[in-house]
Amino acid sequence: MTHTHHPAPADAEARKAVKPVICYPNETLPVPDLPLYRAAREGAEKTGEVLVPARDAACFEVPAGHFFRISSVEGPQVGDLNLWNRNDLSERFYSGKSRALHGTHLTSGERMWTSFPYLRPMATITEDTLEWYGMDAYGGSVHDVIGTRCDPYTGNLLAGSQYHHCCHSNLTRALADHLGVSLVEAEPHVHDVLNVFMCTGFTRDTGQYFMKASPVRPGDYLEFFAEIDLLGALSACPGGDCSSEHSSDTAACHPLLVEVFAPAAGALEGWSSPPVNGYDRSHGR
């Protein structure tokens, strides 16, 4: 963005040269015990799977202490992931705070955090076959928490369209069907997502949100450890690999596979599901 209306002050360069500080130094974040999780995963047994159809969504449940894996199958495809506490849908994934704590994109060892007043880890990423990608020359990376979820309202705002298979609508239908409630009841539970496999960033010159063809290939996966009982919904985005456009039926799209794994009894010795946040909620009164 440019603001030519207001001239720069004499010390503009000095002010712009001030070094940034990290908003939330995360050295004090509780560190997940990845070696324990990975050891538990080795002896884990698959308990179920769901194939999310292209341009559609599906729900799945993962008990605390179990694992789930999202895999690319058939062709490059990105997914929009929502997570809730299975026992209380008001506790759900908080994309903005996860971004503030970990950065614009998530990978192994980082976590998906829940909304206020809970603010606790709900899922820990244990494996990411795209972790090699890092940050590219455009400032792009994978699995972002900077986008929202594609939705029909923005399409209508920008182009007057009525498109019904954006991730927002896919997630709404899947949640309604899973809970046995109406679309009107389900829709407010849908929230900003973890953009699984999506390659995104902000342009350095204009600061605009960009996407580019995902580097994901069939066989790639992102795997999570469920810290609490989870209800998940995953949409196979109508953007396909997001190389061109979304919010239409133009892009080549593929399904995504979700698999759930249960560790062997005793494999998580020493681990316990994290408690809700310790703030006393008195808010100064």
Least distance between Zn ion and beta carbon 247 (Å):
8
Q: Are 41 and 264 in contact (CB under 8 A)?
A: no
How near is the Cβ of 102 to Zn ion at its closest, in Å?
A: 22
The half-sphere exposure of 178 on its side-chain side, counting CA atoms within 13 A, is: 22
**Shortest Å distance, C-beta 115 to Zn ion:** 21
212 close to 140: Cβ distance less than 8 angstroms: yes
Contact 144, 130 (CB under 8 A): no
Instruction: Name which of 78 and 101 has its Cβ closer to Zn ion.
Output: 78
In the block, residue with structure tokens 């249960």: 262
Angle of helix 167-179 versus helix 152-159 axis, rounded to 10: 150
CB of 183 vs Zn ion, minimal distance in Å: 18
Smallest distance from the beta carbon of 203 to Zn ion, in angstroms?
A: 20
Residue type for position 33:
D
Q: CA 93 to CA 83: how far, in whole Å?
A: 6
Question: Which lies closer to Zn ion via its Cβ, residue 167 or residue 268?
Answer: 167
Cβ distance to Zn ion smaller for residue 80 or 128: 80
Output 59 or 237, the one with its CB closest to Zn ion.
Answer: 237
* Alpha carbon distance 26, 30 (integer Å): 9
HSE toward the beta carbon, residue 118, CA cutoff 13 A: 19
Cβ-based nearer residue to Zn ion, 48 or 53: 53
CA angle 28, 31, 32 (to 5 degrees): 160
Instruction: Enumerate binding residues for Zn ion (CB under 5 A).
Output: 80, 150, 167, 237
Whichever of 58 and 262 has its CB closer to Zn ion, that residue is 58
Task: Please state the φ and ψ torsions of residue 38, each to the nearest 5 degrees.
Answer: -70, -35
- Are 222 and 197 contacting, i.e. CB atoms less than 8 angstroms apart? yes
In the complex, the smallest distance separating the C-beta of residue 212 from Zn ion, rounded to whole angstroms, is: 15
